[in-house]
Amino acid sequence: MAMTNELWATLSQLKENWDGYGAAAPMQSTVELAHEFANLLDAMRRKSAQPCPLQISPTRIGGVLLEWEDCAMEHEVEINPDGSVGFLHSNKSTGQITTRKISPGSMQREFLQELQLLAAA
C-alpha cells in the first residue's frame, strides 16, 4: 500500500482480530516508530534509479512489516510491539535468506528522524 497519512491512520485504528484469526491491534507507539522508519527508507530509496514501492502491513502480533525489493534482493523489516526490530534480506537468484533482530530499546524514534535528515541531504 502506498505511503499515505491515510494508511498510517488506518493502521492505528485497526481493532483486535482484524484478520479473522485473532490478530492483535497495532500499538500506537509501534505504528509511530514504523512510520519514521518508513520515512527513512523512503528518503534513502529516493536516490535509487527505479525504486520499488514500499509495502506496509500490520503484523499479527501488533507490529508493522515494511517490505521492498531491488533488482537483486527482497528486504523486510518487522517493527515489533516489544520494541525489537527484525531485518530479513532474501537473495532473489539464490534464495538465500539472512536475518538479524535488534533488541528493544536500541532503536529510538528521534534517532531515525536524524538518519532521515542525513539520507535526504
Partner 1 sequence: MDAAPEIADDEILLRHIPGGTWWQAPGPRITSANFQLRPDRGETGVSVTRAKITGPDRLLLILGGDRAKGSRVAGVRVSDVRAMGLKVVALPVDDDSGHAEIQSDQVSLDDHACRKKLAKLFQFVDEPNVP
Which residue, 12 or 55, has its beta carbon nearer to partner 1? Answer: 55
Question: Which residues lie closer than 8 Å to 72 by C-beta, 6 or more apart?
Answer: 91, 92, 93
Q: Per CB under 8 A, does 51 bind partner 1?
A: no
CB atoms within 10 A of CB 24: 18
Helix (H) or strand (E) holding 34: helix 28-45
24/41 with CB nearer partner 1 = 24
Residue 6 binds partner 1, judged by CB under 8 A: no
Other Cβ atoms closer than 10 A to 30 = 22
How many of the chain's residues bind partner 1 (CB under 8 A)?
Answer: 28
Secondary structure class of 99 (helix, strand, coil): strand
Q: Does 19 bind partner 1 (CB under 8 A)?
A: yes
Distance of alpha carbon 18 from alpha carbon 21, whole angstroms: 8
The answer to whether 84 contacts partner 1 (rule: CB under 8 A) is no
Between residue 53 and residue 82, which ones bind partner 1 under the rule CB under 8 A?
53, 55-61, 63, 65, 67, 76, 78
Residue type at 70 in one-letter notation: D
Q: Which residues bind partner 1 (CB under 8 A)?
A: 1, 18-24, 53, 55-61, 63, 65, 67, 76, 78, 86, 88, 90, 97-99, 101
